[in-house]
């Protein structure tokens, strides 16, 4: 939300809609349908890509991603609150850059570093008449999808109640005071999604749409019809007939969708166990590595709709509702979330989901040639594939990770060892490597082998003939 | 070296030379000069690429590498001694795959998993009449360059003495018994370099060429003229007139060349220092992060010739000695070695060297259009860019790496934090991510966006019109 001390130039542009900030650059090139499908693997860096390939396809196999004809690298950029470069991002600021072309601070959703609202490519596409959608295995109010739809100063402001601040994990948190409706703002992320033009939003996040302020009788769920939206919460409803002219919001879990896989018995990475002698002198004694882990179905997954199923519904609705084409962002969210929790099986199951969703996207692109399909990550993550055994196994000293280790058994009986050792806390840190980019042939002319996340925004905008040059002089 | 129990089919092919295993596939396409320049950044994964970019060009800048028109990813493959997949490699087995197309065991140099000698692309190129060269900031007998020139079962067998085994760092090591000359083998790596066809070999490694067995009066240095070679050991000699028809071996350090940069005062990454209270309960107390580090010239670097200077000499000699073209492998070796030692400034200085050498290669390619320029890594490495401060800095619990941290000051005063936390030992582990590939336009038609290291071997061989299909039926 724009700070009161900031010139309102961009907000003005935003309110003016397509006649000012957005123009159809060249209608001759807009052979309909013309669509962009952007898949984001959250935390899906090359360590995770390789983890996924090794497990799902074998080290001599290929992921569907690997068959994409265009591949490149994308620099992730972040500035701190003083405007200085900082070298590791979060999902909010990176999704905001992909969505708006603006480099911003960690935690920001659709807002620039001066707290200015910045129009997103999804909003620009909607204003230009395209269908728009967002699909995620996270809460649809979570940072990545939210940054394409909403504008708040802090990613935590997901619902009408949380936007006012409160306590989480026993710790107080600040809300987004100026963004709250009671303070004249556009409201929380869930409120903005409800009132936004987005045609399809599918994921988790029911609790944020169910929050009620103490003095309010209704939740956002009760207001859906006022916004031409149908809210569904059961997977079966995905196949019910819902008129094409209705907006569809699907919320299939209280918060994030359960992940497909887990370590056996719910195990995650564990600390190696050095002997007492080794603790006295690192050159002595021995170490027990954690037992080998196999991946198994997560019992909580149940009837959770797959990312591919959600993607299919989103594409079908968008394709039938408009002949112009659409912008759709699809996120496999829990590659990152499971890496934070040191659960490589969880991450790998989410990579499998990303692959399946990509298959659905490529099927559509196969039938509609003017479709740009991009797959990228928002930022790199903690997990590392490390040697099993150590490279220094011949040396008569116990060698082991200072962090946590998972030794995952693959189908052929071999073991892939994953290291999580960025901190001592309950949640791993992100890391700062550039991230991969994969694209279909149609996208090639708009891409370079090396890009910044803001360049991805521009490439998508150019493809959709949107005017994506931000006029930031007024800021 | 071929085991006595293994059929000698490949050795036979090797001895037969170009009339059997190597044929000029299509002489019409060999517009001379036709050359391959392969640059290997040892351990140069995307974390290191980004570290280098952030430091050398700024996070909004571009490395020379980033301007390369072709970019892709390469899967690193390794098998263990039982032939099962294993997921993290070393420089010997990966360089062997790049050099020969054969996937092999950790530690092997130019030998397959059954200890069979496998002809390398450098040897094939030499047999087909191309000039050949190897340049490295490591000992020229070290794993990466050696795997293009020599064939031993263990990378440690670098000199006539070490091939017999011995003791290093106070630990006994086995040599390569069957490879030793006294046992009818081809000798150590240094001996094989001396007798190989390679035209230019520049790097470190003087001690391995100086080793003498107890009953031998001369070292390899004394035998150079018997092999039409001139050995130089002083940087000034690089500009002395050495006849084009002589082979040139330059050895500018006892072992590896000193690196260009170090942390201030020789500092490397250090352990965060938690308070005693925190050691009693991880939720309490405080932590001191290591002081900020600046990179400074390494006083040991002195007059060490740069990788670019060595590259220039190698290219000039190869270009003037033959009109057919050449195969040249160039290694920036200490990105990896300094990452093992947790010295990010050392690694970054070596990335700068790689960039400069690439510039020299691209200048040559600019003047000679039939030049394939490739840059890749052999394997990923331990270093990770992590947040400064932690993503969880707002949480009232001391959050810190369980490993070692360097907080590097960049030119604009910002701080890039690097984490080394793959083990508790004196040397970090390699990691298993796929590695980047960069190439010039001329190479595009021979490459795919996703390849295996063995595919890189084939691409180079095809470009040079060598017959790179291994007939392994006889093995």
Domain positions in chain B are: 9-260+302-382+439-463, 264-297+384-421
Residue A458 CB neighbours (<10 A)? 18
Closest-CA distance, A420 to chain B, in angstroms, reads 9
**Average pLDDT of the residues in B340-366:** 98
Q: What one-character DSSP code corresponds to residue B42?
A: T
Alpha helix (H) residue ranges in B269-333: 276-280, 307-321
Output the CATH code of domain A34-260+298-382+422-463: 3.40.720.10
Closest-CA distance, B76 to chain A, in angstroms, reads 8
If DSSP codes are grouped into helix, strand and coil, which group holds residue A334? helix
Q: Which of B155, B281, B377, B431 has the most A C-beta neighbours within 10 Å, making it the best mutation to test the interface with A? A: B431
Q: What percent of chain B has pLDDT over 70?
A: 92
Strands (E), A276-414: 287-288, 292-293, 295-297, 326-332, 371-377, 384-386, 404-409
**H-run or E-run covering B362:** helix B344-367
Q: Which of A 143-162 lie inside 8 A of B, CB atoms?
A: none
Query: A196, A247 in Cβ contact below 8 A?
Result: no
Q: Give the pLDDT confidence score for residue B381 in this predicted structure.
A: 98
Q: What one-character DSSP code corresponds to residue A269?
A: -
B367 close contact with A: CB closer than 8 A: no
Q: What is the spatial distance between Cα B336 and Cα B339, in angstroms, rounded to a whole number? A: 5
Q: CA-nearest residue of chain B to A395? A: B171
**Average pLDDT of the residues in B55-71:** 98
Q: Which of B65, B82, B289, B432 has the most A C-beta neighbours within 10 Å, making it the best mutation to test the interface with A? A: B432
B270 close contact with A: CB closer than 8 A: no
Q: Give the pLDDT confidence score for residue A91 in this predicted structure.
A: 98
**Average pLDDT of the residues in A415-427:** 97
Q: What percent of chain A has pLDDT over 90?
A: 87
Q: With CB atoms and an 8 Å threshold, state whether B49 touches A391.
A: no
**What is the third-level CATH fold of B9-260+302-382+439-463?**
Alkaline Phosphatase, subunit A (3.40.720)
Of B62, B397, B430, the CB nearest to A425: B397
Of A86, A431, A435, the CB nearest to B414: A86
Residue A265 CB neighbours (<10 A)? 8
Query: A136, A144 in Cβ contact below 8 A?
Result: yes
Pairs of CB atoms within 8 A across A/B? 250
Q: With CB atoms and an 8 Å threshold, state whether A392 touches B449.
A: no
Does this model's pTM top 0.90? My answer is: yes
Place of tokens 């795997």: B147
Of B53, B69, B385, the CB nearest to A449: B69
Q: Select from B299, B284, B285 the least CA-distant residue to B345.
A: B299
Q: For Cα atoms A56, A58, A59, give the angle at the middle one, nearest 5 degrees.
A: 130
Q: Which of A 336-365 lie inside 8 A of B, CB atoms?
A: none
Q: What one-character DSSP code corresponds to residue B80?
A: -
Tokens of B46: 């995307």
pLDDT over 60 at B20, yes or no: no
A91 close contact with B: CB closer than 8 A: no
Q: What is the spatial distance between Cα B385 and Cα B379, in angstroms, rounded to a whole number? A: 17
A440 close contact with B: CB closer than 8 A: no
Q: Give the pLDDT confidence score for residue B172 in this predicted structure.
A: 87
Q: Which of B 176-235 lie inside 8 A of A, CB atoms?
A: none
Q: Give the pLDDT confidence score for residue A408 in this predicted structure.
A: 98
Q: What is the spatial distance between Cα A274 and Cα A279, in angstroms, rounded to a whole number? A: 7
A464 close contact with B: CB closer than 8 A: no
**Average pLDDT of the residues in A244-248:** 95
**Average pLDDT of the residues in B174-192:** 95
Q: Which of A69, A405, A433 has the most B C-beta neighbours within 10 Å, making it the best mutation to test the interface with B? A: A433
Average pLDDT across chain A, whole number? 92
Q: Which of B35, B91, B127, B147 is catalytic?
A: B91
Q: Which of A 96-135 lie inside 8 A of B, CB atoms?
A: 106
Q: Which of A 278-297 lie inside 8 A of B, CB atoms?
A: 282
Question: For A225-242, how does the pLDDT look when each residue is reduced to its tens digit (9 = 90+)?
Answer: 999 999 999 999 999 999
Closest-CA distance, B72 to chain A, in angstroms, reads 6
Average pLDDT across chain B, whole number? 92
Rg of chain B over all Cα atoms, to the nearest angstrom: 23
Question: For A117-170, how does the pLDDT look when each residue is reduced to its tens digit (9 = 90+)?
Answer: 999 999 999 999 999 999 999 999 999 999 999 999 999 999 999 999 988 878
Q: What one-character DSSP code corresponds to residue B215?
A: T
Query: B219, B152 in Cβ contact below 8 A?
Result: no
**Average pLDDT of the residues in A254-271:** 98
If one compares B395 and A133, the residue with the highest pLDDT of the two is A133
Peptide bond into B389 cis (omega under 30): yes
A50 close contact with B: CB closer than 8 A: yes
Q: What is the spatial distance between Cα B260 and Cα A243, in angstroms, rounded to a whole number? A: 67
Q: What is the spatial distance between Cα B42 and Cα B62, in angstroms, rounded to a whole number? A: 20
Of B72, B400, B433, the CB nearest to A385: B433
B171 close contact with A: CB closer than 8 A: yes
Q: Give the pLDDT confidence score for residue A23 in this predicted structure.
A: 40
Q: Give the pLDDT confidence score for residue A475 in this predicted structure.
A: 30
Query: A370, A31 in Cβ contact below 8 A?
Result: yes
Strands (E), B298-361: 326-332
Question: Quick one: A376 exposed, middle or buried, by C-beta within 10 A (0-12, 13-18, 19+)?
Answer: buried
Give the up-direction half-sphere exposure of residue A137: CA atoms within 13 A in the CB hemisphere: 32
Q: Select from A32, A18, A24, A38 the least CA-distant residue to A314.
A: A38
**B91 in active site:** yes
Q: At what angle do helices B344-367 and B46-56 cross, to 10 degrees?
A: 90
* Residues of chain B neighbouring A156 (CB-CB closer than 8 A): none
Question: For A434-456, how does the pLDDT look when each residue is reduced to its tens digit (9 = 90+)?
Answer: 999 999 999 999 999 999 999 99
- The rounded Cα A2 to chain-centroid distance in angstroms is 24
Tokens of A422: 């960025």
Pairing of strands A292-293, A166-168: unpaired
Q: Which of A91, A138, A219, A339 is catalytic?
A: A91
CA distances from B346 to A225, B48, B310, B423 (A): 62, 12, 19, 20
* Residues of chain B neighbouring A275 (CB-CB closer than 8 A): none
* Residues of chain A neighbouring B400 (CB-CB closer than 8 A): 423-424
User: Computed from CA positions of residues A341, A342, A348, A354, in that sequence, does the dihedral angle turn out positive or negative?
Assistant: positive
Closest-CA distance, B278 to chain A, in angstroms, reads 11
B467 close contact with A: CB closer than 8 A: no
Question: For B434-448, how does the pLDDT look when each residue is reduced to its tens digit (9 = 90+)?
Answer: 999 999 999 999 999
Q: Which of B 382-411 lie inside 8 A of A, CB atoms?
A: 382, 384-388, 390-392, 395-403, 410
Q: With CB atoms and an 8 Å threshold, state whether B53 touches A390.
A: no
Q: Which of A66, A281, A423 has the most B C-beta neighbours within 10 Å, making it the best mutation to test the interface with B? A: A423
Q: With CB atoms and an 8 Å threshold, state whether B59 touches A85.
A: yes
Question: For B404-445, how does the pLDDT look when each residue is reduced to its tens digit (9 = 90+)?
Answer: 999 999 999 999 999 999 999 999 999 999 999 999 999 999
Q: What is the spatial distance between Cα B149 and Cα B28, in angstroms, rounded to a whole number? A: 28
* Residues of chain A neighbouring B87 (CB-CB closer than 8 A): 54, 59, 385, 387-388, 414, 416-417
* Residues of chain A neighbouring B85 (CB-CB closer than 8 A): 54, 58-60, 410, 412, 414
A428 pLDDT band (50/70/90 cuts)?
very high
In DSSP notation, A336-368 reads HHHHHTT-HHHHHHHHHHHHHHHHHHHHHHHH-
Q: Does ipTM exceed 0.90? A: yes
């Amino acid at each position: 939300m724009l700070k009161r001390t900031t010139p309102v130039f961009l907000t003005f542009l935003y309110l003016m809609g397509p006649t000012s900030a957005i123009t159809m650059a060249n209608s001759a090139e807009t052979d309909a349908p013309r669509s962009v499908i952007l898949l984001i693997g959250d935390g899906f860096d090359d360590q995770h890509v390789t983890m996924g390939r090794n497990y799902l396809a074998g080290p001599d196999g290929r992921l569907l991603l690997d068959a994409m004809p265009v591949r490149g690298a994308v620099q992730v950029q972040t500035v701190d609150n003083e405007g200085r470069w900082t070298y590791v991002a979060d999902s909010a600021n990176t999704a905001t850059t992909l969505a708006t072309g603006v480099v911003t601070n960690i935690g920001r959703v659709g807002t620039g570093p001066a707290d200015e609202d910045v129009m997103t490519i999804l909003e620009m596409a909607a204003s230009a008449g395209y269908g728009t959608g967002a699909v995620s295995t996270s809460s649809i109010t979570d940072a990545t999808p939210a940054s394409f739809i909403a504008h708040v100063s802090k990613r935590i402001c997901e619902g009408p109640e949380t936007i006012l601040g409160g306590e989480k994990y026993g710790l107080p948190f600040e809300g987004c005071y100026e963004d709250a409706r009671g303070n004249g703002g556009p409201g929380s992320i869930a409120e903005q999604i409800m009132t936004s033009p987005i045609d399809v939003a599918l994921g988790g996040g029911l609790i944020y749409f169910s929050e009620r302020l103490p003095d309010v009788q209704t939740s956002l769920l009760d207001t859906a019809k006022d916004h031409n939206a149908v809210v569904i919460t059961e997977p079966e409803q995905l196949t019910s007939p819902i008129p094409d002219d209705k907006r569809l919001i699907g919320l299939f879990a209280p918060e994030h969708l359960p992940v497909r896989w887990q370590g056996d018995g719910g195990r995650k990475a564990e600390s190696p166990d050095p002997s007492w002698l080794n603790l006295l002198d690192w050159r002595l004694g021995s170490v027990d590595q954690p037992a080998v882990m196999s991946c198994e179905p997560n019992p909580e997954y149940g009837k959770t709709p797959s990312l591919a199923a959600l993607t299919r519904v989103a594409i079908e609705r968008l394709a039938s509702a408009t002949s112009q084409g659409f912008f759709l962002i699809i996120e496999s969210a829990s590659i990152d979330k499971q890496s934070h929790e040191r659960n490589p099986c969880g991450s790998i199951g989410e990579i499998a989901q990303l692959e399946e969703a990509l298959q659905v996207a490529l099927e559509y692109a196969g039938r509609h040639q003017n479709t740009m399909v991009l797959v990228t990550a928002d930022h790199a993550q903690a997990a590392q594939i490390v040697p099993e055994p150590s490279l220094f196994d011949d040396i008569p000293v116990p060698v082991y990770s200072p962090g946590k280790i998972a030794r995952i058994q693959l189908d052929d009986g071999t073991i892939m060892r994953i290291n999580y050792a960025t901190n001592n806390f309950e949640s791993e840190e992100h890391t700062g490597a550039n991230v991969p980019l994969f694209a279909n042939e149609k996208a090639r002319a708009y891409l370079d082998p090396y890009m910044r996340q803001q360049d991805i925004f521009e490439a998508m905008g150019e493809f959709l003939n949107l005017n994506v040059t931000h006029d930031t002089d007024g800021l």
